Chains A and B, each alone.
Chain A
Amino acid sequence: MKKLLSGMIPIVFLSLLMTGCQGVLDPRGPVADTQYNLIIYSIVLMSLVLIPVFIAFGIIVFKYREKASSHHYEPPEMEGNKKLEILWTIIPIIIVTMLAIPTVQATYSLEKSPSPEQKPLVIKVISAQWKWIFQYPEQGIQTVNYANIPKDRPVKFKLTSAAAMNSFWIPQLGGQKYTMPGMTEVLFLEADETGTFNGKAANFSGKMYSDMTFTISSQSNQNFENWIQKTLEMKPPLTAVGMDQLLSPGTVDIMTYSSYPKNYDYLSNLKGGTMNEFGEH
């Protein structure tokens, strides 16, 4: 029974790997790859602990259960055993060390661009109530609830928020980071395939939080440049008034603008709000 159970664990995870529906276990970029490898490695490492403990637990509980034949059996008193206790202090230390080393390595490497030889594309991400705003400072354009990125080029997302805290997460490209009002976090991601990836608001941000999804499309460099060009030529500019409207609470469809207002204070909603202290608008 216990053997069957321990045999099932890898199968469960294997079937999981094969489903691959836009999740963490279906990575499409170097950052997500690093994290995927760390996750699988830690699952294997933990199985090395889990399986022996399960087997030992099963055997002990079965063998020493109270039964009719053990009526006269009186268990021995065992105070403890220094050697054994030192042994199972050391085993977890070794296992934890085996996980800690790649953890620290990955912690440092993920702070840097996955492809340092290339100049990253910078995209500023602003979470609002309840939509995602993407600004391309070098190109001057803005999108809402979707973003296009070139394949095989690192993207430097600069994350902030115009309202509640949120968390910017594209599972197939890599782990999340928080967007926080008044602060800027940096997240490097890169796609090594073309395709559309689901992005999520991962941190609860109020009423319409569940609707706050976006997509990231990874495209060939040529297509990406064409899209920028077309956006600059064909799409409307965004004024400060338009931005005010965009930041007001609610959900919107995807949007594209050829420009966005410079020097806009994204914290105005949190600072002034709808009413100031004198009761005026």
Chain B
Amino acid sequence: MNLESIKKFLLEDFFVTGDPFIYAADIMIGLTSILIIAVLTYFKKWKWLWNEWITSVDHKKIGIMYMIASLMMLIRAGIDALMMRTQLMLPSMNFLDSQQYNEIFTTHGVVMLLFMAMPFLFGLINVAMPLQIGARDVAFPYLNSLSFWLFFFGAMLFNLSFVIGGSPDAGWVNYPTLAGEKLSPGPSINYYLLSLQISGLGTLMSGINFIATIIKMRAPGMTLMRMPIFTWSTLITSIIIVFAFPVLTIALALLTIDRIFGSHFFTVAGEGLPMMYVNMFWLWGHPEVYILILPAFGIFSEIISTFARKGLFGYRAMVYSMIVISLLSFVVWVHHFFTMGNSPAVNSVFSISTMAIAVPTGVKIFNWLLTLYKGKIKMSAANLWALGFIPIFVIGGATGVMLASAPADYQYHNSYFLVSHFHYVLISGTVFSIFAGLHYWWPKMFGHTLNETLGKWGFWLFAIGFNLTFFPMYIVGLMGMTRRVNTYSADAGWTSLNFIETIGAYLMGIAFLIIVYNIYYSARHGRRDQTGDPWNGRTLEWSIPSPAPEYNFAHIPRVEGIDTYWLTKKDNRKEPSNHSTYKAIHMPNNSGQPFFMSLFFFIAGFGLVFEWIPIAITGTLGIGAVMIVRSFDEDKGYHIPAWKIKKTEMKQRGQNHEVNK
């Protein structure tokens, strides 16, 4: 290997060159990295970052890290979306060429679904779920940290593709044969496969962790049918994860082996079956949609009930409907490819099973309406997101039923009608729930509320922008506009609708800036939450101080019913007398191992992306080494002494508490 060939490799295959967008990104990434390093060094925060955050096994801190990373990914994929909308604003635009456009819609989809929506929900689950069930942490804090770092390094590996090697460009579904070695050689598709694989392992571990936590760590008295509805949604979601994600793991692994080691699982040569990938992908992919929507349902249920000052109407029906949805989610996957020539019997069965999902979902909608009925509805920012969700989601759901009709789907499939449908359900469902949950649980995380005025501005602009963007897509889809086209001609007659869509998209961008500014503004001027219960909440997380102390509950609460904290407040019950004495609390130790293990996963993944087997082996050995270290690790945790707990409780409960004494 001479110098010239190394130079040639670096400039032609390794670094993505010759594109002003990429150079701009290179510069941005470089400057941001320098800035972060400089700030951390100047304020001497390296040690703090390592001790307090990176090695933390505290579920609340892990939750916050999930949210910070997801917010970054939201910005990235949001910029992707705005670039696409800019390109489609007018006919025959030359803002992006077809290759750039293909990469951008691929990364937009992958990042939004797998590196934004799902981890953001995991962040909220991590923060709120253990508090809702009166636990001091999740069942496996170390594993929780590993889940986060696997997600984080998976996401980083995916984003690296933008500047090194080239981004994936076969759509977020990544079907072979297009995504096979023959039609897409090179590292780009490998990035997709390996980054999803790594973060997918983290997701699977989270699912197991959440199930164990909910089954084993509920406070005494909290029977399953007394669990807060968000905890229920987490449990059901986690069960879906445990059944669905292994399918993705296998599909990705087989395609990886096809591409890197030349096997023929999904290639046409050697009697492989490309359609097998499509089946496996959606066997995971459809349940994945419910992984994204069920926690959202849980968040909305909590918020609607809290701000209507009423218990959730039909709690049992809400639980059963989620269980039915989770079961149905595994028997509808073929509706993603009605048009692939299935027999009419198969299409009929899957049409009906898909339509059946409307029944439990309808029950939920009506029960939310009845929860609001005769309530005292407070129009807080969190509640606006929850209320806005209902009508928008109903439109998305109704078009979902329309799409379920297989013969009609022949006309909707791959058109903007479909694009609009899934944005209607995923944005009004998942994204609205994320913002709602952020407003709702913010004081529990940081001790102050987010500004309501800015929050409401954010909501209205976002909701208006959203409808402007996506409603015209239904129409333009019926006019025959196919998804993933990078441009269209003026005589197609789609110009005015596309123009409106782009305006809407920019409105959503502005709304998002307001939401982010609100975080900054509220950090400086936000109202401190002295009570721990700023919304007059109903569930256990509001019974402890804000921000939640490290050990969560100084005394493990006793649960008397659904909305147990509300019952306590209503009865005006005094705290039990033993609450003035404190006992030492056992806590797990921080660990840097999850970070290093995930880093080795990243190295192994990067080696496989470029098919550099020695690097892949090095990374794999590293993973094994950390596992061995962990196996001999006799970490028994530590105790927080009683006096320290007393001090914290006194301080955080504020003056009110001391006056009572």
* Residues in A lying within 8 Å of B, measured CB to CB: 12, 16, 19, 21-25, 32, 34-35, 38-39, 42-43, 46, 49-50, 53-54, 56-57, 60-61, 64-66, 70, 73-81, 84-85, 88-89, 91-93, 95-96, 99-100, 102-104, 106-108, 110-111, 129, 163-165, 167, 169, 171, 174-178, 180-183, 185-186, 198, 200-210, 267, 269-273, 277
Contact = CB atoms under 8 A, between A and B. Distances in A.
B449 interface: no
Contacts of B412: 24
18 contacts: A35-B408, A46-B401, A57-B390, A64-B374, A65-B379, A74-B309, A75-B374, A77-B311, A78-B310, A103-B406, A111-B344, A178-B337, A178-B339, A178-B341, A182-B274, A201-B482, A202-B482, A207-B98
B475 interface: yes
Contacts of A103: 348, 351-352, 355, 404-408
Given A64-B376, A165-B175, A178-B339, 4 more contacts: A46-B398, A79-B315, A164-B178, A175-B407
The SS class assigned to the A binding surface is mixed
Interface string B364-392: 01110110111111110000000100110
Nearest to A70: B376
Nearest to B312: A80
B503 interface: no
B405 A38 contact: yes
B394 A53 contact: yes
Interface in B147-177: 169-171, 175, 177
Given A21-B479, A171-B480, A35 B369 contact: no
A64 B414 contact: no
Contacts of A60: 369, 372-373
A202 B413 contact: yes
Contact of B182 (A49, A80, A93, A270): A270
B190 interface: no
A88 B348 contact: no
Given A24-B411, A89-B359, A103-B406, A66 B376 contact: yes
B492 interface: yes
Interface stretch (B19-27, B40-48, B483-491): B483-491
A205 B311 contact: no
A108 B344 contact: yes
B485 A209 contact: yes
Contacts of A165: 175, 177-178, 274
Contacts of A183: 275, 341
A167 B413 contact: yes
A267 B366 contact: no
Contacts of B314: 79-81, 85
Nearest to B402: A42
Given A19-B479, A75-B309, A208-B98, A163 B408 contact: no
Given A42-B402, A209-B484, A204 B365 contact: no
Contacts of B487: 210
Contacts of B86: none
A103 B354 CA distance: 12
B482 A53 contact: no
Interface string B267-292: 11100001100000000000000000
A87 to B, nearest CB: 9
Given A171-B411, A178-B339, A181-B177, A50 B344 contact: no
Contacts of B374: 64, 75-76, 78
Nearest to A172: B480
A50 B397 CA distance: 10
Contacts of A16: 475, 478
Contacts of B407: 34-35, 38, 103, 106-107, 110, 175
A89 B313 CA distance: 15
Contact of B365 (A53, A182, A277): A53
Q: Which of B175, B482, B492 has the most CB of A within 10 A?
A: B482
A53 B392 CA distance: 11
A178 B336 CA distance: 12
A11 B142 CA distance: 58
A100 B317 contact: no
A75 B375 contact: yes
Contacts of B171: 204
A267 B269 contact: yes
B322 to A, nearest CB: 14
Nearest to A175: B410
B269 to A, nearest CB: 4
Interface size class of B (residues with CB under 8 A): 35 or more
B614 interface: no
A186 to B, nearest CB: 7
A64 B371 CA distance: 11
B377 A65 contact: yes
B316 A270 contact: no
Q: Which of B341, B370, B390, B483 has the most CB of A within 10 A?
A: B341
What 9 pairs between A and B have smallest CB-CB spacing?
A: A175-B410, A80-B314, A185-B341, A164-B178, A23-B479, A106-B407, A92-B362, A202-B414, A46-B398
A163 B182 CA distance: 9
B356 interface: yes
Contacts of B341: 177-178, 180, 183, 185-186
B102 interface: yes
A271 B182 CA distance: 8
Contact of A207 (B99, B315, B479, B480): B99
B268 A206 contact: no
B363 interface: yes
A29 to B, nearest CB: 12
Interface string B338-350: 0111001001100
B316 A92 contact: no
B3 interface: no
B221 interface: no
Interface in B164-213: 169-171, 175, 177-178, 180, 182-184
B233 interface: no
Nearest to B400: A46
B415 interface: yes
Contacts of B485: 209-210
B302 interface: no
A181 B175 CA distance: 12
Contacts of B311: 77-79
Q: Which of A91, A111, A207, A267 has the most CB of B within 10 A?
A: A207
A105 to B, nearest CB: 9
A113 B518 CA distance: 60
Nearest to A78: B313
B482 A75 contact: no
Contact of B359 (A23, A39, A92): A92
A176 to B, nearest CB: 5
A91 B183 CA distance: 49
Contact of A206 (B183, B340, B414): B183
A204 B210 CA distance: 37
A270 B267 contact: yes
A79 B370 CA distance: 10
Given A50-B398, A202-B414, A56 B99 contact: no
A262 B453 CA distance: 72
A107 B348 contact: yes
Nearest to A200: B482
B72 interface: no
Contact of A176 (B184, B316, B413): B413
